[in-house]
Chain A
């Protein structure tokens, strides 16, 4: 459906975009995470939202949120001349489900960013990615360098499959974010390899 890519056209400088999604509750550090790896200051887009969120957004840290749009921040990192990585940070609450199908369409995978003090904020994202068979990992953001529970405790609290990596990260630190994205891409690669092997006749 897209125009064939013609490398001789003057427009051919456009790189091919690949996308990953960074999901998690309000205030968990999604935008910081995206910004740590992005070539640009994360940009904000809005998606229209229904009134269902009125009266729900009352978590202490976000009491200034008064609009009825969902802000979705994203950044990008040029990988090479013809490949650019887009990272979309999206609220993880289930009431944003209306736009997740659009968001996840074509995405390679997702990082579920979690705060161990509010671990249940990540449940809707986990449910979503599990049900859609989207490759994902769980990354615990260390606030002030602290993780309040062991990785095993978190894994057990999240009730996720042993095959899902649970890592710690620091959304403020580029190298940590890089490592987290690489952990996700390893899962993506392993899945692709598994699929290619299972599709080869024995």
Chain B
């Protein structure tokens, strides 16, 4: 991976301090107090200082393009070209995809993002032509040849 002046992944960075814990520490390292009063739902947001959906502009569900958790993402030429000008999550997702196609779930796990957040941000990036999606066709469940191939493959594992 090319070292750019903005490295959001590791090391000293210019990340806004209130975001840093999300990026630098696994969630387990930042346990919430157990005895959060039930009447304080905001305090019970995902285990970090920043509420996850801040990154998605408050949206849940799908981004511009609906992705599955297992959808594989790869950088488009455009994504490759504009990578260094992307910000925050977009940049980190693009960087992660430099090494090869990644699923939404793997991106979420590696970046310590909630699944729904990765889904929305990456979906927007697909919509903006930065990422390609590789996912099974919607009628996979009726694709007998594909299912048979899968069965053979699992047998051979």
Inter-chain contact B147/A68, CB cutoff 8 Å: no
Distance from A165 Cβ to chain B, minimum over Cβ atoms (Å) = 15
Chain A residues touching B, range: 35 or more
Cα(A54)–Cα(B135), bound, Å: 36
A68 contacts B155, CB within 8 Å? no
B32 touches A67 (CB 8 A): yes
Task: Establish whether residues B32 and A68, one from each chain, have CB atoms under 8 Å apart when the complex forms.
Answer: yes
Among residues 60 to 91 in chain A, which have CB atoms less than 8 Å away from a CB atom of chain B?
A: 66-69, 72, 74, 76-77, 79-80, 83-86, 88
Interface string of A177-202 (1 = CB under 8 A from B): 01001100110110111011000000
B74's closest neighbor in chain A, by CB? Answer: A11
Separation in Å of the A12 CB from the closest CB of chain B? 8
Q: How many A-B residue pairs have CB under 8 A?
A: 187
Cα A185 to Cα B146 with chains together (Å) = 11
Give B124 Cβ to nearest chain A Cβ, in Å.
Answer: 13
B114 touches A85 (CB 8 A): no
Given contact pairs A106-B140, A182-B151, A67 touches B31 in the complex (Cβ within 8 A): yes
With A67-B27, A67-B47, A86-B105 known as contacts, the answer to whether A51 contacts B115 (CB < 8 A) is no
Query: A67-B31, A83-B153 known; A51 and B44 CB under 8 Å?
Result: yes
Neighbouring B residues of A84 by C-beta, 8 Å: 72
Which of B8-16, B62-70, B86-94 forms contacts with chain A? B62-70
Are B105 and A77 in touch, CB under 8 angstroms?
A: no
Q: Say yes or no: A48-B45 contact (C-beta < 8 A), given A11-B74, A16-B135.
A: yes
Chain B residues bordering chain A, tally (CB within 8 A): 62
- In the complex, are the beta carbons of B136 and A48 less than 8 A apart? no
| Contact A189 to B147, CB < 8 A, known contacts A67-B31, A83-B153 | yes
CB within 8 Å of A: which B109-151 residues = 109-110, 112, 114-116, 119, 126, 132-136, 138, 140-144, 146-151
Give the chain B neighbours of A11 by CB distance below 8 A.
74-76, 101, 132
Decide yes or no: A48 and B101 within 8 Å by CB, A18-B136, A188-B141 being known contacts: no
Interface status of A173 (Cβ within 8 A of chain B): no
Question: B142: which A residues are within 8 A, CB to CB?
Answer: 192, 195-196
A86 touches B144 (CB 8 A): no
B23 contacts the other chain (CB 8 A): no
Cα-based distance from A102 to B119 in the complex (angstroms): 10
A-B residue pairs, 3 tightest by C-beta: A79-B153, A14-B101, A11-B74
> B residues within 8 Å of A by Cβ?
27-28, 31-32, 34, 36, 38, 40-41, 44-47, 52-53, 61, 65-66, 68-76, 100-101, 103, 105-106, 108-110, 112, 114-116, 119, 126, 132-136, 138, 140-144, 146-151, 153-155, 157
**New A-B pairs, 11, CB < 8 Å, besides A11-B101, A45-B69:** A1-B65, A17-B71, A46-B108, A48-B52, A67-B28, A68-B32, A79-B150, A105-B68, A182-B155, A188-B147, A192-B143
